[in-house]
Structure 1
Amino acid sequence: MSEFGFQMNDHHEHHARRVLPWLSFALALVTIGAVAVALLSRGGSTPDDYVGQGVGSVVVEIPAGASLTQIATALVKADVIALARPFVDVATADERTLSPGRYTLHTRMEPRAAFLLMLDPASRSGSRLVIAEGARLRAIVAKASEATGIPASEFRAALTRPEAIDLPAEAEGNPEGWLFPATYDLAPDTTATSLLRAMTARFQKASDTLDLVTRAKARGLTPEQVVTIASLLEAEVAPSDYAKVSRVISNRLAAGMKLQFDSTVNYALGTNSLALSASDLEVDSPFNTYLVKGLPPGPISSPGEAALDAALSPAVGPWLYFVTTDPTARTTEFATTYDEFLALKRKYQGA
């Protein structure tokens, strides 16, 4: 009996050794399946993600140029979301992009809820300053002063210190044209210097994106000349005609012709007139391209990225003239000969 009993115990022990691994494996599969179902039911979040729309409020500042990972890290630090990776995945899968600035959000939000709230303009905190393409320096100072409550004199004083506002060396101390037109979020501690520095930094970002310095050199131009040409494009025509007018400028300079752009006279006079008089065209100024050959001595406004790109890459064509035949619709027509130009002028005058 004792021998039989021993054999039976040995048999059961051997059977248990074979069953237990399979049982453990089956239990593991069940556990994994349960976790997968739970994850799917929560939209793919990890178990540690917050669920829901969040509670309370918190202000988070996203700096210009921040990557999605940096944004997510800032949100984790503020306890808006629990983990960075799910937020990055949500934002990457969406075609919409987040802008820098101050956001009023909730704490303990699920990633998608946080992303959608950041897309809502109502979540943006503080005031904003919008600088339009083609704005002149004087107008930029006036708008910045109005938006911030900082006296214009403080902006003018900051503009006299190129190194303090990180003005590019290529500007040669002249800030006209180098304060990039964009939307700027104004923090409560904004100063004249910090805001102007943000504008020059935004210009530098556009310059890097366009590879401005290298492309300018390839065209035999200095960066300042590129900015000057781009500022003329902003002042003269609609964006759809930037590249063609850029070619007109190139062709006229190559032919030794004066540019004769009304925008340069308006800049010299401090006006924005569509009907300049004969005496206006004779104003004594280095910016008056009716009197002076070549480009004006510097930019006449702040050009945007599209104008800068067109200044670097003119359209191909023989045009030497252009006339905006419908100023309201900003319709511009181009001519190669002087007779064609006169015909366009008559068309404009008869409109």
Structure 2
Amino acid sequence: MNWQRDRRYNEGMSGQNDRLANWHRIKLLIAALLLFVLLAWFGWRLVLGPVEARGARQVRVRVPDNCTGRQVAVLLKEAGIIRSASAFVVYSRLYNLEQQLKAGYYVFYTNQSLPEIAGQLVRGSNAQLAVTIPEGYTLAQIAALLQQQLGVAPGAFWQQVSRGEFSYPYLRGLPSGPRRLEGYLFPDTYLFSSDMPVREVIATMLQRFDQVNRELDLEKKAARRGLTLHQLITVASLVEREARLDSERPLIAGVIYNRLQKGMPLQVDATVLYALGRHKEKVYYKDLTVDSPYNTYRHKGLPPGPIAMPGRASLLAAAQPASTPYLYYVARPDGSHAFAADLTTHERNKRMYQQ
């Protein structure tokens, strides 16, 4: 009988030990699960947090039309403003934001959290982009710049340039066509919103030209020289493309007027490049034969119109040229020019500086 009692006692103790072991395993499992949840929570908070907790760098991002949530996430990750593209996708799906993300230009900061960035994308574009039109740019270069920075379609740009209606008196009488506004989109830095219609973009630059035109009283100064405003802008564009130093702009304008007065061909290399339609570091003799009314080696007088967008200094030089005996100039290696009043001196300058 004792062995039966001992057996029951041992079985009871064994069952109790098993229950204790099971309970210990359950506690370990619960602890591991809690630890996993805690780590996952901290990890989730980490990937949702800002890339830089201290300080803030400004980052501009363009979200194209018809982007998926995954594509937007990749753009943001590549721009360095979120920690994880996958986390952005999960977050946007979890909160049903994926179909609400809007295309456009955005300004983000590296101390923004992922939820803040997602909310900004849902609200829509907040960016005004600073777009700089450099002095001496042509219409073709401006078209490429606006496409790159504002997403302006080249076709829409050229349609407005050729046939857009702009109510500025200085544009009256200009022939329609792709070169109509050459010289009149004033080079400056502008703030454009990402959704601004291309017509308004162009009108803003024309308005700036109108302001400078009035400030410098260009039409009256052109009339004093027996020129139309269009001819004055053409001279200014030649100066813009030829001069590198502001101090030389009135001198180069003086050379142009002197050659026009004497009936000499202007022989401005920049007009040849414009006729060729591409930039080259050096103009060769074969280039001078290009058949174009803009080629001032083949045709005397001014070209039909401006060849670039002149800035204020070039406009002022064309309106108030230096009184000079010079008829020639040649570029030095440092970008300045050597001027000459006669062909012999000019040829000597060419041998000195062009070799």
Task: State whether TM-score is above 0.5.
Answer: yes
Q: 268, 277, 293: which one pairs with 2:300?
A: 293
* Contact kept? 2:326, 2:340, Cα under 8 Å: yes
**2:321 is aligned with 1:318:** no
Pairing of 1:246-285 with structure 2 (within 5 A):
246-285=253-292
SS of structure 1 residue aligned to 2:338: strand
- Kindly provide the amino acid, as one letter, of the partner of residue 239 in structure 2: L
- 1:234-253, aligned counterparts within 5 Å? 234-238=240-244, 239-253=246-260
State the match for 1:49 in structure 2. Answer: none
Equivalent residue number for residue 148 of structure 2? 146
Match of 1:194 in 2: 200
Is 1:222 matched up with 2:228? yes
How far residue 148 of structure 1 moved from its aligned partner, in angstroms, is: 1.0
SS in 2 for 1:259: coil
* Cα distance per residue 1:34-92 (max 9 Å; x no partner): xxxxxxxxxxxxxxxxxxxxxxxxxxxxxxxxxxxxxxxxxxxxxxxxxxxxxxxxxxx
Question: Are 1:303 and 2:310 matched, yes or no?
Answer: yes
> Helix, strand or coil for the counterpart of 1:160?
helix
Query: Residue 129 of structure 1 aligns with which residue?
Result: 131
Q: Distance in 1 between matches of 2:195 and 2:167?
A: 16
Partner Cα separation in structure 2 for residue 317 and residue 188 of structure 1: 48
Aligned runs of 1:76-155 on 2, under 5 Å?
126-155=128-157
1:177 aligns with 2:183: yes
2:139/2:182 contact within 8 Å kept? yes
Give the Cα separation in 2 of the matches to 1:171 and 1:347: 43
Which residue type is aligned with residue 140 of structure 2?
A: R
C-alpha deviation, 1:159, in angstroms: 1.3
Would the aligned equivalents of 2:331 and 2:354 in 1 still touch at CA under 8 Å?
A: no
Q: Any conservation in 2 of the 1:177–1:228 contact (CA below 8 Å)?
A: yes
Task: Write the deviation string for residues 254-278 of structure 1: whole angstroms up to 9, x where unpaired.
Answer: 1110001110000000122232222
Is contact 2:131-2:190 (8 Å) kept? yes
Bigger Rg over Cα: 2
Which amino acid in structure 1 is aligned with residue 350 of structure 2? Answer: K
Question: Secondary structure of 1:322's partner?
Answer: strand
| Letter of the 2:349 counterpart | L
8 Å Cα contact 1:165-1:200 kept in structure 2: no
Q: Letter of the aligned partner of 1:232 in structure 2?
A: L
CA distance in structure 1 between the aligned counterparts of 2:336 and 2:252, rounded to whole angstroms: 13
Map of 2:24 onto structure 1: none
Rounded to whole Å, the distance in 1 between the matches of 2:271 and 2:216 is 25
The offset of 1:125, in angstroms, is: 5.1
Give 3-state SS (helix, strand or coil) of 1:281's partner: helix
Q: Render the CA deviation track for 1:6-57: whole Å, top value 9, x for unaligned.
A: xxxxxxxxxxxxxxxxxxxxxxxxxxxxxxxxxxxxxxxxxxxxxxxxxxxx
Amino acid at match of 1:347: M
Q: How far, CA to CA, are the matches of 1:204 and 1:171 in structure 2? A: 15
162 and 223 in structure 1: CA distance in 2 versus 1, 3 angstrom threshold: farther
In structure 1, distance between residues paired with 2:304 and 2:172: 16
TM-score, normalised via structure 1 length: 0.62
Q: Which ranges in structure 2 are unaligned for 5 or more consecutive residues?
A: 1-106, 108-125
**For structure 1, which runs of at least 5 residues remain unmatched after alignment?**
1-102, 104-123
Task: State the distance in 2 between where 1:270 and 1:203 align.
Answer: 24
Which stretch has the larger CA shift, 224-233 or 186-195? 186-195
One-letter code aligned to 1:247: G
Contact 2:128 2:191 survives alignment (8 Å): yes
**Alpha-carbon offset, residue 236 of structure 1:** 0.6
Native 8 Å contact 1:325 1:333 kept in 2 = yes
2: CA distance between counterparts of 1:321 and 1:169?
34
Q: What CA distance in whole angstroms lies between the structure 1 residues aligned with 2:341 and 2:182?
A: 32
In 2, Cα distance between equivalents of 1:180 and 1:172: 19
Q: Using the alignment, how far apart are the partners of 1:319 and 1:201 within structure 2?
A: 36
- Counterpart check, 1:345 vs 2:346: no
SS class of match (1:291): coil
CA distance in 1, matches of 2:204, 2:353: 41
Mapped to 1, the partners of 2:288 and 2:336 lie a distance apart of 23
Using structure 2 for the length normalisation, give the TM-score.
Answer: 0.61
The one-character-per-residue Cα deviations of 1:310-329 (angstroms, maximum 9, x if unpaired) are 00111011000000122xx2
Give the C-alpha shift of residue 156 in structure 1: 1.1
Shift of 1:151: 1.2
Contact 1:158 1:164 survives alignment (8 Å): no
User: What RMSD, in angstroms, separates the aligned Cα atoms of the two structures?
Assistant: 2.0
| Aligned amino acid, residue 185 of structure 2 | L
Identity over aligned pairs, percent? 39
